[in-house]
Amino acid sequence: MTEAEGRVRTSAGIGLRSPHVAEVMATRPAVAFLEVHAENYMGGGPALAALDRLRHDYPLSLHGVGLSLGGADALDARHLARFKRLVDRVEPELVSEHLAWSVAEGAYFNHLLPLPYDEASLDVVCGRVARVQEALGRAILLENPSRYLRFAHSPIPEPEFLAELAHRTGCGLLLDVNNVYVTCRNFDEDPEAYLDALEVAGIGEIHLAGHAENEADGRRILIDDHGSAVADPVWRLYTRALERFGPVPTLVEWDTRLPALAVLLDEAAKARRLLEAAGRRERDAVAA
């Protein structure tokens, strides 16, 4: 294990967004790793140049949002080739994508759209994950999406679908604790039961972010907008996840209404303290 991997494994990072790049370059804050959206770095110019420099000082996590792994249309070979070129260039410690689709009939929706969970979908996603992993020459992590609708025909529970996907393809999981909370609350399900239903092995990264609470037709609906601090119930669920899965590299994301970098760093520091506590518990358990 390299030093960089070790740092990713045990601590907390931040999602790096373009308004923060100059400050991160100038001040080099002490975070364990940086995660960027792959699709923002597929051109050239100052964005890519900054990433080239930052990757020497920080382990990188490359987070794809556009491979549409749940899409039934043909995989975008040009996009996969660009993805691979970026992975080869910046050599990230972690590479991840989503259990979702985003393109149909050639139109990209810039959104992580929901899948029905059945055998047919499982075949589609497994085939695509396998093809991406083969192209990249490495395993990727798949993230559970936040969802606002359920399909009438969707017989496999999401944790089971993810476990089967990992089993068949060898991919790992990116457990987004906020997404678990948002999805479960939107369908009156128990988020702790969701965690209990996930297999312990194979969680390669955790995401944390804020969500918003909207009202539609008098019914409360949680929206995963990454526009605020991590909510208290999500921190509690995160603590529960660390008890179940042990310390896992954790990323704090913030995308809309982006705050000062210091605010985001404080959130990452909070995650780091919880991770360190989980690490101590794990060592104590081993020693006992």
Phi-psi label, residue 170: left if phi above 0, alpha if psi -120 to 50, beta otherwise: left
Residue from the set 4, 48, 156, 258 that interacts with another protein by CB under 8 A: 48
Q: What angle do CA 215, 217, 222 make, to 5 degrees?
A: 30
Judged by CB under 8 A, the stretch of 25-33, 99-107, 174-182, 193-201 that binds another protein is 99-107
Residue 76 found at the interface with another protein (CB under 8 A): yes
| Six-digit token string for 134 | 């083969």
Q: β-pairing, 12-15 with 34-37? A: parallel
Using an 8 Å Cβ cutoff, are 194 and 160 in contact? no
When asked if residue 35 is in the footprint of another protein (CB under 8 A), the reply is no
- Here the tokens at position 135 are 């192209």
Of the pair 86, 252, the CB lying nearest another protein is at 86
180 to 199, contacts with another protein by CB under 8 A? 186-187
Closer residue to another protein in complex, CB, 6/155: 155
Of 136, 13, 157, give the one whose Cα is nearest residue 69: 136
Taking CB under 8 A as the rule, does residue 212 contact another protein? Answer: no
Residues within window 227-286 making contact with another protein, judged by CB under 8 A = none
* φ, ψ at 165 (rounded to 5°): -60, -45
Measured CA to CA, the distance from residue 121 to residue 89 in angstroms comes to: 32
Q: How far is the CB of 276 from another protein (least distance, A)?
A: 35
Q: Is 148 in the site for another protein (CB under 8 A)?
A: yes
Per rule CB under 8 A, is residue 101 in the interface with another protein?
yes
Contact positions vs another protein (CB under 8 A): 39-40, 42-49, 65-68, 71-73, 76, 78-79, 101-111, 113-116, 120-121, 124, 148-153, 186-187, 216-217, 219, 221, 223
